[in-house]
């Protein structure tokens, strides 16, 4: 009987230790990576864990084109009500071109993760 309890406790420890060491992951993005879309009103980044609003942000940049350097797009980033979705809202409609989204987030278990992806506007 004691052996079963020890094995159960060991299995639970391994299971929960793995979950405790997990980092938040980008589950989905809209627009999706490498997509070409009509002018989006917002960019939504959904993560696998709840985020800390004070430490989670994203920057939107229009890629360089002939005769024009890359430029940061004025936008705001805020968490949606679900606590897992970071919503980036440009202050003006996006022009045709290629854009990158660079995000830095901190989950509620204090894991910090960053990443980026690109999409195009037609």
Per the structure, the count of domains in the chain is 1
**Residue-number span of the structural domain to which 64 is assigned:** 24-121
**Residue 15 located in a structural domain:** no
**87 within domain boundaries:** yes
Please indicate, yes or no, if residue 6 is contained in any of the structural domains.
Answer: no
Provide mean pLDDT across the span 1-5.
Answer: 51
Structural domain includes residue 58: yes
pLDDT over 80 (residue 44): yes
pLDDT digits (tens, 9 = 90+) for 60-103: 999 998 999 999 999 999 999 999 999 999 999 999 999 999 99
| Domain annotation covers residue 17 | no
pLDDT score of 105: 98
3 within a domain of the structure (yes/no): no
Q: What is the 3-state secondary structure (H, E, C) of the chain?
A: CHHHHHHHHHHHHHHHHHHHCCCCCEEEEECCCCCEECCCCCEEEEECCCECHHHCEEEEEECCECCECCEEECEEEEECCCCCEEEEEECCCCCCEEEEEEEEEEECCCCEEEEEEEEEEC
CATH number at residue 56: 2.60.40.1220
């Amino acid at each position: 009987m004691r052996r079963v309890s020890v094995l159960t406790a060991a299995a639970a420890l391994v299971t929960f230790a793995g979950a405790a060491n997990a980092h938040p992951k980008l589950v989905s993005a809209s627009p999706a990576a490498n997509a070409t879309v009509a002018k989006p009103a917002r960019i939504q980044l959904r993560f696998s864990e709840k985020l800390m609003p004070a430490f989670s942000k994203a920057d939107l940049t229009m890629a360089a084109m002939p005769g024009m350097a890359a430029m940061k797009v004025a936008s705001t980033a805020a968490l949606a009500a679900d606590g897992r979705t970071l919503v980036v809202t440009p202050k003006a409609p996006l022009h045709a071109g290629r854009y990158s989204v660079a995000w830095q987030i901190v989950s509620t278990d204090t894991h910090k993760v960053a990443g980026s992806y690109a999409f195009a506007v037609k």
